[in-house]
């Protein structure tokens, strides 16, 4: 990473969680925001100077950690919407005046539950995106080649004869990984139609792969071939597995 390349205007933003771009149903808040990574040039101050957790804030240990991490860190930020509220307003300050004797503009503001919930949602998403690590992708790719590429192809483009593409697929990149996990754990069947009388099936992999393996695999297909979506964790997999087991038990 070269911290001297960048001008503040250079960056990338994830817009999937902005405004109404995603399903708010289960989330309990309105509005959204973007997640962005910007490079601003090697500024001595106001620059992202990340050091590992637990590093002292000054002294030789801090300097050493700074030297070691200077070229290895970047900051990912979220920027979200704020609703209008009766108790958030601008008015003229009754006490303070500028040099011309005019009252200063006064800002009265606090975050409400909606903004706090929105911020937590965006920050969690940003953390998940930041955590897509190289090892997870390498393990996921190997699992993909062994188990999936036969039908969905190495390049994730599938086959027109009935194996759907995973590359650039909206369901595969959905912010919640449920669709992908249900397909991998429980398999899927394409309903037979008159023009395609034999139903094509995707076998279930839930019996064969561990939660960790399915998390690696799902993270891989959600981030390979130009796809981008939050990391899937082993606990996400366990939750969907439970869900499927419960539904099957009810039947």
Which residues contact ligand HEC (rule: CB under 6 A)? Answer: 147-148, 150-152, 162-164, 166, 169, 171-172, 179-180, 183-184, 188-190, 200, 202-203, 205, 217, 221
Q: For the CB of residue 151, give the shortest distance to ligand HEC in the complex, in Å.
A: 3
Q: For the CB of residue 150, give the shortest distance to ligand HEC in the complex, in Å.
A: 5
Nearer residue to ligand HEC within complex by CB, 166 or 231? 166
Q: For the CB of residue 162, give the shortest distance to ligand HEC in the complex, in Å.
A: 6
What is the rounded CA–CA span in Å between residue 224 and residue 169? Answer: 11
Q: For the CB of residue 66, give the shortest distance to ligand HEC in the complex, in Å.
A: 41
What is the rounded CA–CA span in Å between residue 207 and residue 227? Answer: 27
Q: Which helix (H) or strand (E) holds 204?
A: none
Nearer residue to ligand HEC within complex by CB, 56 or 162? 162
CB atoms inside a 10 Å sphere around CB 183: 19
Nearer residue to ligand HEC within complex by CB, 33 or 156? 156
Would you state the structure tokens that stand for residue 141, as one six-digit string? 């790719």
Q: For the CB of residue 225, give the shortest distance to ligand HEC in the complex, in Å.
A: 13
Nearer residue to ligand HEC within complex by CB, 35 or 237? 237
Would you state the structure tokens that stand for residue 33, as one six-digit string? 């925001």
Q: Is-contact 203 187, C-beta < 8 A? A: yes
Q: For the CB of residue 238, give the shortest distance to ligand HEC in the complex, in Å.
A: 17
What is the rounded CA–CA span in Å between residue 212 and residue 225? Answer: 22
Closest C-alpha to 14, from 148, 134, 121: 121
What is the rounded CA–CA span in Å between residue 116 and residue 111? Answer: 7
Q: Report helix, strand or coil for 34.
A: strand
Residue nearest to ligand HEC (CB): 148
- Beta bridge partners of residue 154, listed in sequence order: none
Nearer residue to ligand HEC within complex by CB, 17 or 205? 205
Q: Is-contact 53 105, C-beta < 8 A? A: no
């Amino acid at each position: 990473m070269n911290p001297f390349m960048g001008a503040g205007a250079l960056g990338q933003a994830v817009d999937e969680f902005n405004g109404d771009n995603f399903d708010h149903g289960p989330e309990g808040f309105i509005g959204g925001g973007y997640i962005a990574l910007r490079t601003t040039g090697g500024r001595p101050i106001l620059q992202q100077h990340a050091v590992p957790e637990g590093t002292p804030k000054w002294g030789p240990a801090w300097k050493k950690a700074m030297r070691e991490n200077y070229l290895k860190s970047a900051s990912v930020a979220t920027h979200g919407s704020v609703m209008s509220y009766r108790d958030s307003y601008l008015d003229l300050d009754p006490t303070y005046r500028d040099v011309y004797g005019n009252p200063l503009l006064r800002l009265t503001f606090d975050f409400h539950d909606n903004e706090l919930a929105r911020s937590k949602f965006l920050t969690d998403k940003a953390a998940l995106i930041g955590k897509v690590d190289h090892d997870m992708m390498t393990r996921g790719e190997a699992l993909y080649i062994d188990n999936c590429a036969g039908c969905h192809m190495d390049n994730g483009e599938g086959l027109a004869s009935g194996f759907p593409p995973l590359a650039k697929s909206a369901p595969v990149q959905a912010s919640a990984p449920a669709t992908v996990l249900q397909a991998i754990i429980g398999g899927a069947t394409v309903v037979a139609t008159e023009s395609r009388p034999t139903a094509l099936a995707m076998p279930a992999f839930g019996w064969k792969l561990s939660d960790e393996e399915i998390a690696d695999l799902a993270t891989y297909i959600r981030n390979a071939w130009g796809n981008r979506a939050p990391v899937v964790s082993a606990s996400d997999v366990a939750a969907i597995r439970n869900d499927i087991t419960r539904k099957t038990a009810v039947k």
